[in-house]
């Protein structure tokens, strides 16, 4: 997943390709890939990347086909844009 995200950020993957990849992915996997991928970045670059991915998760929330998927993407968007306070304990329903 992180490889696709890097391709998307570099402009080598189209919005449509990224969208179709995310539609078939698990929101928690997306969140984990972003968190692990940005861990080695400097602070500002990692924060900027997480915010960009948060906006994408927010769009996925709007396009979700079920309430459960919508809530899961909403939690991912919140966690990736985290600036303080309490984070959502889990990003998906089990």
The model's pLDDT over 61-93, given as tens digits with 9 standing for 90+, comes to 988 888 888 899 999 998 898 765 555 655 554
Query: Would 42 be classed as within a structural domain?
Result: yes
Query: Would 88 be classed as within a structural domain?
Result: no
Query: Would 59 be classed as within a structural domain?
Result: yes
**Confidence tier at 94 by pLDDT (50, 70, 90):** very low
Query: SS3 string of 27-89?
Result: HHHHHHHHHHHHCCCCHHHHHHHHHHHHHHHHHHHHHCCCHHHHHHHHHHHHHHCCCCCCCCC
**22, pLDDT greater than 90:** no
pLDDT tens digits, residue range 36-49?
A: 999 999 989 998 99
Query: Would 26 be classed as within a structural domain?
Result: yes
* Helix 67-80 / helix 43-63 crossing angle, nearest 10 deg: 160
Query: Would 46 be classed as within a structural domain?
Result: yes
pLDDT at 53: 92
Domain span at 57: 2-80
**12, pLDDT greater than 90:** yes
- The total of structural domains in the chain comes to 1
């Amino acid at each position: 997943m992180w490889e696709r995200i890097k391709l998307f950020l570099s402009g080598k993957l189209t919005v449509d390709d990224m969208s179709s990849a995310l539609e078939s992915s698990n929101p928690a996997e997306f969140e984990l890939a972003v968190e692990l991928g940005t861990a080695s970045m400097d602070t500002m670059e990692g924060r900027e990347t997480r915010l960009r991915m948060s906006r994408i998760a927010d769009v996925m929330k709007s396009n979700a086909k079920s309430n459960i998927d919508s809530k899961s993407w909403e939690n991912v968007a919140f966690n990736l844009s985290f600036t303080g306070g309490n984070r959502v304990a889990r990003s998906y329903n089990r």
